[in-house]
Amino acid sequence: MADESAEPTRPARTISFDEVAVVRRCQDGDTAAYGELVIRYQDRIYNVMRRMAGPDDAEELAQEAFLKAFEKIDQFRGGSRFYTWLFRIAMNLAISRRRRGAKVKFLSMNATGDDEQGQSFTDTVTADLSRQRTPAPEANVMARETSQQIEAALDALDEEFRAAIVLRDIEELDYADIAEILDVPVGTVKSRIHRGRNILKDKLAALISK
């Protein structure tokens, strides 16, 4: 018989990241607190930058985004979450770089290792190909050709569609967050994602139908 006097088991406590408190410390001049924000978001910002502007420019743009955010931290009023504010700064930098005609190459979406989110989009685009079983080395050649065509199709998207696709299908952000980052209405976000996906579908239709 169970001991009714025993204290019930309590769920393990987890330490949450109080973003608001950390930002306030930054605004009060605590530079170490800003380091906490950098550590928390540096990987996501870097990954978005390399998908928007290519691996050659990603690190520079990520660093510039964090520097600009630090310089403007007093302007952050908490109307949105800090990370969406930071993403907006980063996305604006990446879009400006592309529009200036800088050298841009889209990172392969067939990345492996710790880049699991990138793989999900490739899986979605090439779902119909998974039913085919081509013996090696033909299979390896097909995979490389598929990856190259996906990269080319994504790289050909206008910045507004590319940004929406990257944030939704790769970063898996919700529509409200994307709207805050891109500073457009939610309806515009949905429209851009829909149109961007259709453009990709048209460009890849020949590949998928094989």
pLDDT > 50? residue 14: no
- Average pLDDT of the segment spanning 100-112: 46
CA separation, residue 205 to residues 76, 107, 157, 189 (Å):
44, 21, 16, 24
pLDDT in tens, 37-62: 999 999 999 999 988 888 888 999 99
pLDDT > 70? residue 104: no
CATH for the 19-99 domain, from 3.20.20.70, 3.10.400.10, 1.10.1660.10, 1.10.1740.10: 1.10.1740.10
pLDDT band at 146 (very low <50, low <70, confident <90, very high): low
> How many helical (H) and strand (E) elements, i.e. helices and strands, does the chain have?
9, 0
Q: How far apart are CA 107 and CA 29, in angstroms?
A: 37
Q: Where are the domains of the chain?
A: 19-99, 116-208
pLDDT > 70? residue 115: no
pLDDT band at 161 (very low <50, low <70, confident <90, very high): very high
Does residue 103 or residue 84 have the better pLDDT?
84
CATH for the 116-208 domain, from 1.20.1540.10, 1.10.10.10, 3.50.50.60, 3.20.20.70: 1.10.10.10
54 and 104 Cβ atoms separated by less than 8 Å: yes
Residue 29: how many CA atoms within 13 Å on its side-chain side?
A: 0
Range list of β-strands (E), the chain: none
Are 19-99 and 116-208 equal in CATH topology?
no
